């Protein structure tokens, strides 16, 4: 009999907590010779969640490469391709007479609950859970911080993280440069002809080609399968980090909110898939960025901006996912019930140039940057009253870096305000004017971005004012919405009626009708 470790598909690090704990207890050499390590590549998940093809290739190829890395390090590794996690696990436990099963805490609540349920079956060995070391804040530390506040805000959390880890801090305990946040410097609209540096992509090796061939045979999945260029090993992920530093870090700040046709990545880091898989650890990325940025005299607005995404937003949303609890996933502040339009699943043919541009980029690679996600995709969902749970699941399936803990807070909280303000201080609702200012998408669109009613009017305009009118009783109580609600009140009844009729016509044409509010 021997201890076993089950490494989940987003825990692909030799330093993950369960492996480290056994090495500490038994000694590295003995742990690697006595313990067996299991990885399960499961197609059964596709029965309830049809993932983007590129996401499947990324995860499964990274898992297979990590299994080879474990073997090279001396671990006894069993890699199972199966249709069911439970069948593969229970068979493995019995065949190898596993005496105790060690696991690092999953990042996602449903997986922890499913494993606990498996552990109650007769004949299964004891489960030994190890706190996750994939994040900078433990769940207990985040809860201790959160309990001190009546209203949680990311900026306060981010400042505490900077202090705790001494990141971009002066010796006197003040933030480098005299301010904590340079966000206002990083919102420039794109000038004509803006081009970012080329991202680093990789040729598929034999392992990745085998996974691509497997995914080819799986029916009814969204997204393009090839070309596939994502990193699938730690070494490749580290190369992406260095490439970002060399070619994109200095320019990251000013245009990080810009949206440019034909430029899906601009200066964005493209590190989130590798952080979420465990190929990179957030602290090593932050330390390397800080070191390189200071050595290169990177503009502080760019350096602070990218570090804030990791040390601030990523850690904050993960902490909130566990702090808010299981019922957070069911939140629906505006009572939205509109089904998703068919073109979201097709990743095409919405008729809106902005939406179709973003969808085409997602179809090609499973990627869109944060403003495309927030101000095009989620903004449309908010204004249209799309079902929050359905849209959150769509984000989870379609995005290369999508996970339960990522998308619940980002979509339900930030994008849709479905939590009623637990995360964001106001709904991030915007008309077509914002998209026109921050992108070139509106040029050549069949719709007129300046029109609010009529068949040629930009759908975002009608949906925006209709959203405000539907929920004016709630929204006028939010001080950050006061100015726009005054504009709504000044609108002539006939004009507002025409706008709302156009919004309803758009919903009807997209196969849903009105599904939220009075």
Every domain range in the chain assigned CATH 1.10.579.10: 330-509
In the chain, CATH 1.25.40.80 sits at 139-197+248-323
Q: Where in the chain is the domain with CATH 3.40.50.620?
A: 2-130
Q: Considering the domain delimited by 2-130, tell me its CATH architecture.
A: 3-Layer(aba) Sandwich (3.40)
**Residue 270 phi/psi, 5° resolution?**
60, 35
- How many residues are present in the chain? 518
Residue (of 292, 279, 294, 289) closest to 311 by Cα position: 289
Give the DSSP H/E element, type plus range, for residue 104: strand 98-104
* C-beta separation of 66 from 235 below 8 A: no
Give pTM, 2 decimals.
0.96
CATH number for the segment(s) 139-197+248-323: 1.25.40.80
Diameter over CA atoms, the chain: 79
- Looking at 3.60.20.10, 1.10.760.10, 1.10.645.10, 1.10.579.10, the CATH number of the domain 330-509 comes to 1.10.579.10
* Per-residue tens of pLDDT for the chain, all 518 residues: 689 999 999 999 999 999 999 999 999 999 999 999 999 999 999 999 999 999 999 999 999 999 999 999 999 999 999 999 999 999 999 999 999 999 999 999 999 999 999 888 878 899 999 999 999 999 999 999 999 998 999 999 999 999 999 999 999 999 999 999 998 888 999 999 999 999 999 999 999 999 999 999 999 999 999 999 999 999 999 999 999 999 999 999 999 999 999 999 999 999 999 999 999 999 999 999 999 999 999 999 999 999 999 999 999 999 999 999 999 999 999 999 999 999 999 999 999 999 999 999 999 999 999 999 999 999 999 999 999 999 999 999 999 999 999 999 999 999 999 999 999 999 999 999 999 999 999 998 999 999 999 989 999 999 999 999 999 999 999 999 999 999 999 999 999 999 999 999 999 988 654 444 43
466 three-state secondary structure: helix
């Amino acid at each position: 009999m021997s201890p076993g470790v089950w490494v989940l598909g987003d825990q692909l690090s030799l330093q993950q907590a369960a492996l480290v704990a056994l090495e500490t207890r038994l000694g590295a050499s003995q742990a690697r010779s006595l313990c067996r390590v299991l990885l399960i590549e499961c197609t059964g998940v596709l029965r309830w969640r049809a993932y983007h093809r590129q996401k499947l290739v990324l995860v499964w190829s990274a898992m297979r490469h990590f299994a080879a890395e474990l073997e090279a390090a001396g671990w006894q590794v069993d890699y199972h391709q199966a249709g069911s996690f439970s069948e593969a696990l229970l068979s493995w436990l019995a065949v190898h007479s596993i005496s105790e099963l060690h696991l690092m805490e999953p990042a996602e609540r449903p997986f922890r609950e499913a494993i606990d349920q498996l552990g109650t079956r007769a004949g299964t060995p004891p489960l030994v859970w190890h706190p996750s070391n994939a994040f900078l804040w433990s769940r207990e530390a985040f809860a201790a911080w959160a309990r001190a506040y009546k209203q949680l805000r990311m900026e306060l959390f981010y400042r505490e993280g900077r202090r705790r880890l001494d990141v971009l801090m002066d010796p006197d305990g003040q933030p480098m440069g005299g301010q904590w946040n340079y966000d206002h410097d990083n919102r420039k609209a794109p000038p004509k002809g803006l081009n970012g540096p080329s991202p680093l992509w990789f040729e598929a090796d034999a392992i990745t080609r085998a996974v691509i061939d497997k995914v080819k045979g799986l029916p009814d999945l969204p997204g393009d399968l090839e070309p596939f260029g994502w990193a699938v090993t730690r070494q490749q992920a580290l190369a992406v980090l260095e490439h970002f530093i060399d070619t994109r870090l200095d320019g990251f700040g000013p245009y990080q909110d810009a949206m440019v046709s034909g430029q899906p990545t601009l200066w964005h880091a493209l590190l989130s898939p590798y952080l979420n898989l465990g190929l990179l650890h957030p602290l090593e990325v932050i330390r390397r960025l800080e070191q390189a940025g200071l050595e290169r005299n990177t503009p502080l607005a760019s350096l602070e901006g990218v570090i804030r995404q990791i040390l601030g937003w990523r850690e904050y949303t993960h902490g909130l996912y566990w702090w808010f609890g299981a019922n957070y996933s069911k939140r629906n502040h505006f009572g939205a019930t509109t089904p998703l339009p068919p073109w979201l699943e097709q990743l095409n043919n919405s008729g809106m140039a902005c939406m179709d541009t973003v969808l085409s980029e997602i179809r090609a690679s499973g990627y869109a940057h944060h403003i495309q996600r927030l101000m095009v995709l989620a903004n449309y969902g908010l204004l249209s009253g799309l079902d929050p749970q359905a849209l959150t699941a769509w984000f989870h399936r379609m995005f290369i870096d999508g996970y339960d803990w990522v998308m619940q807070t980002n979509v339900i909280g930030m994008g849709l305000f479905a939590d009623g303000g637990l995360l964001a201080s106001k709904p991030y609702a915007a008309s077509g004017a914002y998209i026109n200012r921050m992108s070139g998408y509106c040029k050549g669109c069949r719709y007129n971005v300046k029109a609010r009613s009529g068949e040629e009017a930009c759908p975002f305009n009608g949906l925006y004012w209709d959203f405000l009118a539907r929920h004016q009783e709630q929204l006028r109580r939010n001080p950050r919405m006061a100015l726009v609600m005054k504009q709504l009140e000044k609108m002539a009844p006939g004009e507002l009626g025409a706008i709302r009729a156009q919004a309803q016509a758009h919903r009807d044409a997209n196969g849903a009708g009105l599904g939220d509010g009075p």
